[in-house]
A and B are shown apart, each in its own frame.
Chain A
Amino acid sequence: MIETIIEVIVAVLIGLGAFLSLVATFGVIRLPDIYTRNHAISKSTTLGIMLILIGTFLYFWLIDHHFNSRLLIAVFFIFVTSPVSGHLIARAAYHSGVKLWEKSKHDDIKEHKSSAEEM
């Protein structure tokens, strides 16, 4: 009985993680410019992969009775590094002059840069 409950929880976690990764992929295909794509991929896949890894960890821990601490380290590692890589990609894109979507209204960095140059 308890094993069935655990397996259902693990299945929900892994299914949700896979679904979030799929949603992120659709975001990359459908969104208009690099910043919105980056927004979709860096957040959704981080959470998706973390959910998949937590599900795997729970399965090995509660069904196989094997506490795999490497999976916990991997969850922490992805949680720390993946948003930072998204930040670096977006920053590199902005500084190498990738244009925003033509319907975007507001560019804070541009205003900040021009006001800093005037001073």
Chain B
Amino acid sequence: MKNNDVILQVTTKVIVFIIVLFSIYIFFAGHYTPGGGFIGGLMTSGAIVLLLLTYDIKTVAEMLPLDYKLVAAAGLFIAAATSTGALLFDLPFLTHGYWEIWLPILGETGLHTAVFFDTGVYLVVVGVTLTIIQTIGVSE
């Protein structure tokens, strides 16, 4: 049977950007409102799963040339490094800090190290979810 997925593909192109934007918003809003690394990561992997449903696994691998096992490993490394970084300042493990730092475009910005821990959670969730789904997808 001939496949003609024009409607699904065009809709996916529009919708994936909204989902990714919303997941990034959820990730950064996690400190003050409901959200955080886990939901943001799941929503990002949901956007990539939508791409996987629309296109095949090779096309998505060309769009996003990532090894998701390495993504999960990088997330674990970031979370562990943030936790152990407190030991360098002679503080207990997992102590988080807060600084006002200067960034090139944003100027004076408040930065809490819990954001780095959340980034680790985000990357681990994206990596694990997509590793599971891609492994199930290619096995025959």
Chain A residues near B (Cβ < 8 Å): 70, 73, 76-77, 80-81, 84, 87-88, 95
Quote the shortest CB–CB distance from B67 to chain A (angstroms).
Answer: 30
A76 and B22 CA atoms in complex are apart in Å by 13
Q: Is the CB of A80 within 8 A of B22?
A: no
Q: List 5 A-B contacts (CB under 8 A).
A: A77-B18, A80-B11, A80-B15, A81-B11, A87-B7
Contacts of B22 in A (CB 8 A): 70, 73
A45 and B99 CA atoms in complex are apart in Å by 49
* B136 on the A face (CB < 8 A): no
Q: Identify the closest chain A residue to B1 (Cβ).
A: A95
A78 and B15 CA atoms in complex are apart in Å by 10
* B132 on the A face (CB < 8 A): no
Contacts of B11 in A (CB 8 A): 80-81, 84
Q: Is the CB of A84 within 8 A of B18?
A: no
How many residues of chain B have a CB within 8 Å of chain A?
Answer: 8
Q: Assuming A73-B18, A77-B18, is B7 touching A84 (CB within 8 A)? A: yes
A84 and B15 CA atoms in complex are apart in Å by 11
Q: Identify the closest chain A residue to B3 (Cβ).
A: A95
Q: Is the CB of B1 within 8 A of A77?
A: no
Q: Is the CB of A84 within 8 A of B8?
A: yes
Quote the shortest CB–CB distance from B46 to chain A (angstroms).
Answer: 13
Contacts of A95 in B (CB 8 A): 1
* B14 on the A face (CB < 8 A): yes
Q: Identify the closest chain B residue to A81 (Cβ).
A: B15
Q: Identify the closest chain A residue to B4 (Cβ).
A: A91
Contacts of A77 in B (CB 8 A): 15, 18
Q: Identify the closest chain A residue to B19 (Cβ).
A: A77
Q: Given A73-B22, A84-B8, A95-B1, list of 14 further CB < 8 A pairs? A: A70-B22, A73-B18, A76-B18, A77-B15, A77-B18, A80-B11, A80-B14, A80-B15, A81-B11, A81-B15, A84-B7, A84-B11, A87-B7, A88-B7
Quote the shortest CB–CB distance from A72 to chain B (angstroms).
Answer: 11
Contacts of A73 in B (CB 8 A): 18, 22
Contacts of B1 in A (CB 8 A): 95
